[in-house]
Structure 1
Amino acid sequence: MSLVLHGHLFSSYTWKALIALYANGTKFEFAELELRAVRVK
């Protein structure tokens, strides 16, 4: 089972998750979100 963290590098919530993952030594893959590609209806 692999862990994928979806987030944006300017998000404080993403940073909090990254800090916890690195502190625990958890292996994960980071998938950066493209906020400009999101369409709001």
Structure 2
Amino acid sequence: MGPPRYADLEYEYVDVRLEDPLEPACADGGLDFREDMSDLKIR
């Protein structure tokens, strides 16, 4: 159940980036979010 959940979150992250790819703040948030997901996966 871990891997599918991670994929779902990744999709959401991509969606947000597509919404405002020119927004640097958005990109920063996305990167932070991705880092959190990596931490969860490692755990």
TM range (shorter): 0.3 to 0.5
Alignment TM-score, normalising by the size of structure 2: 0.40
> What's the TM-score once normalised by structure 1's chain length?
0.42
Q: Greater share of helix residues, 1 or 2?
A: 2
Q: Which has the higher contact order (CA 8 A, sep 6+)?
A: 1
Say which structure is richer in strand: 1
